Amino acid sequence: MYNDKITLTPQDILDKEFKIDARGYRPQEVDKFLDMVINDYNEFIAEIKRLKKEITYLNDDNSKLKNELRRIKANIEAAEGSASNNSSVSNVDLLRRLSQLEKVVYGKNEE
Is residue 92 predicted with pLDDT exceeding 80?
A: no
Using a pLDDT cut of 70, give the percent of the chain over it.
86
What is the model's pTM? 0.52
Mean pLDDT of 36-65: 92
The strand pairing partners of 24, in sequence order, are 21
pLDDT band per the 50, 70, 90 thresholds, residue 111: very low
pLDDT band per the 50, 70, 90 thresholds, residue 83: low
**What is the 8-class DSSP label of residue 3?**
S
H or E element in which residue 62 lies: helix 27-110
Those residues whose C-beta lies under 8 Å from the C-beta of residue 43, and which sit 6 or more positions away, are 2, 3, 5, 6
Those residues whose C-beta lies under 8 Å from the C-beta of residue 47, and which sit 6 or more positions away, are 2, 3
Mean pLDDT of 1-24: 73
Mean pLDDT of 44-66: 94
What is the rounded average pLDDT for all residues in the chain?
A: 80
Specify the pLDDT at position 12.
79
Task: From 39, 34, 29, 31, select the one nearest 7 (Cα to Cα).
Answer: 39
Residue 34 backbone zone (phi > 0: left; psi -120 to 50: alpha; other: beta): alpha
